[in-house]
Amino acid sequence: MPLPDERSRVPTMKLLLIVNPSASSVTARTRIVIQKALSADHRLEVAATTRRGHATRLAQSAANDGIDVVVVLGGDGTLNEAANGLVGTETALAALPGGSTNVFARTLGLPDDPVEATGALLDAIDAAAIRRVGLGSVNDRHFLFHAGIGFDAAVVEQVERRGGLLKRFAGHPLYIAATIDTWIRHYDHRRPAFRVTFPTDVDPTTGQSTGGTSDGGPGIPGVFAACLNTDPYTYLGTRGLSLAPAATLDSPLSVATFRNLSAVTLATTLAAALGLQSARRPRSDGRAGLEVRDGVELAEVIASRPLPWQVDGDHVGEAERLVVRHHPDVMDLVVPLASPAFS
């Protein structure tokens, strides 16, 4: 008797597909094709987001209802919302690229095309390639791949103000234009606005530091800090912008603090981050424009004025004090086979 098809031996799983219909790569045709593929061997439910924060509530309900995997077809912001709803549960998160940049899906090694990525995702589900991974958090908001404090959050805020159809159809050019406009007109990129410290302990009730810092110093002055759970920080076209190669889903965070965003610092960092052979990464010795700290479990940012902050490309608000933490093994993730996102 012939052996059954390998996929037919995989136990049927309960899946919820969360779709952001406003995401730049989501079309009616793509959605139908993906739904058919996911429902071929598994029990599938489908829900569409209608407002900010909706994916978090949908994911929480899915976990409470015993859904095995929440599949998200949308951008990084929708993925972040779903992840925040799944932290601490036994329901796994699965990513499909539906936005303009799709940093997390690409970091996991998924194809850019959402239909092709669905095939890779089903292969991973069939191989039971689900891992418990760590996440970062800023105050009470978790993040999958990075959080930004200062300059890049101001850029994200500018993009969201112009959002709508412009963001859907002019993703990368819009971000580049907003970055230049923010650097020139909307953000002081010369004078540090905050300090990053690495406390050895924080009181769990008050959230205040109860000890010294890991380096015994007053902290690192900065105009922009990127707290990374994975690397690269983002993508420019097909190239990853690498700030902290040590940042992986099975290691603590890396924190990259820019002391200034002068043209020289930006040019040098950008060239090194893109892997250009002739570029040298700025030294992390306190005198360079960029300082990178790896293996971070806890960091604290104290600002002289309310500063914008974002998680996974989603602008959250402004704050004068932010506590950044690493949380190991808090969420199940469907991992594409041979994913590069782990050390």
pLDDT tens digits for range 85-132:
999 999 999 999 999 899 999 999 999 999 999 999 999 999 999 999
Please determine, for residue 213, whether its predicted confidence score (pLDDT) is greater than 90.
Answer: no
- Calculate mean pLDDT across residues 275-291: 60
pLDDT tens digits for range 247-273:
999 999 999 999 998 888 878 887 888
* pLDDT confidence of residue 125: 96
Long-range contacts of 204-211 (CB under 8 A, 24+ apart): 207/323, 209/300
- What's the pTM value of the predicted model, to 2 decimals? 0.88
pLDDT tens digits for range 2-13:
434 444 456 799
Domains in the chain, start-ordered, CATH in brackets? 6-135 (3.40.50.10330), 141-329 (2.60.200.40)
Query: Is the separation of the CB atoms in 301 and 324 below 8 Å?
Result: yes
CA distance 222 to 260: 7
Query: Is the separation of the CB atoms in 71 and 319 below 8 Å?
Result: no
Half-sphere exposure of 41 (CA within 13 A, CB side): 14
Backbone angles phi, psi at 92, to 5 degrees: -90, 155
Residue 315 belongs to what H/E stretch?
A: strand 314-334
Q: For 78-92, 135-149, 153-167, 306-320, which range has the lowest pLDDT when averaged over its residues?
A: 153-167
Residue 162 belongs to what H/E stretch?
A: helix 151-162
